[in-house]
Amino acid sequence: MKKGENTNRPAIGAQIKVDPIRTLKDIQAIKKLLRDKPRDYCLFTLGINTNLRAGDLLSIKYDQVAGLSVGGELILKEKKTGKSRRISLNQSAIEAIQKLTHATHYEEGDYLFKGQRGVLTVPSVNRLVKSWCAEINLQGNYGSHTLRKTFGYHQRTQLNTSIPELMMMFNHSTQRQTLDYLCIQPDEIKDAYLKLCL
């Protein structure tokens, strides 16, 4: 290792797995924690109600969401894939956006999620998510990708969204990739053993 090199940074090509927020109680605890911080509340709420990567969340501009109502579509181009995405926004997402846009002054073309030095960055979102989870004493590994994973986890566990549908939502090529990504297969296998009582 070279002098001054960051020992906490993963090797190039390495993956760090983060957890979804698994319980509604913990989601509500974070929302309560952020209720007086409109930007962070909106970032969290929009993140867990869509399957957008942090970089795509941060690319949203005020003009794209101003005036949207429940069921309105957010249209953006994914940074990673270059594909155009249309996302229908639910009531929680719209209310969070409205709370933020009423509390913040925006000019035409401004990014929705602004920091003191301009638009937020993915590393800053990573730090925010880690701090929110730590503040409510969540055990596990959390980061910016936790928001996207939380969306998928609850789509599957709360709404029973099918794996093929989730594969399409996340643009995964195999069911195995989706199951591994959402951290739910071990739980489902354990439940299957416990439910069957012959």
Which of 22, 39, 145, 154 is the catalytic position? Answer: 145
112-156 pLDDT per residue, tens: 999 888 889 999 999 999 999 999 999 999 999 999 999 999 998
The per-residue pLDDT for 190 is: 67
Q: Is 117 a catalytic residue?
A: no
Percent of the chain surpassing pLDDT 90: 59
Active site residue 105: no
As a 3-state breakdown, the chain gives helix, strand, coil percent values, each rounded to 5, of 50, 10, 40
Catalytic hit among 22, 39, 53, 154: 53
Residue type, 28: Q
Whole-number pLDDT of residue 10: 46
Cα 189–190–193 angle (5° rounding)? 90
80 annotated active-site: yes
- Domain boundaries, given as residue ranges, for the chain: 24-195
Q: Annotated catalytic, 181?
A: yes
CATH number, domain 24-195: 1.10.443.10
| Catalytic entry in 9, 25, 80, 195 | 80
3-state secondary structure of 127: helix
**Which of 22, 154, 156, 172 is flagged as catalytic?**
172
Which letter, b or e, does each residue of 14-52 get, where b requires 16 or more Cβ atoms within 10 Å of its Cβ? Answer: eeeebbbbbeeebbebbbebbeeebbbbbbbbbbbbbbb
172 catalytic residue (yes or no): yes
* Per-residue model confidence (pLDDT) at position 5: 46
Mean pLDDT confidence for 160-178: 85
What global pTM score does this model have? Answer: 0.84
User: Does the pLDDT of residue 4 top 60, yes or no?
Assistant: no
pLDDT digits (tens, 9 = 90+) for 107-119: 999 999 998 888 8
Return all residues near 120 (Cβ < 8 A) that are at least 6 apart.
43, 58, 111, 113, 114
Quick check: is 154 catalytic? no
Q: Active site residue: 22, 148, 149, 156, which one? A: 148
Q: pLDDT tens digits, residue range 48-91?
A: 999 899 999 999 999 999 999 999 999 998 888 777 888 999 99
Element (H, E) at 115: strand 114-115
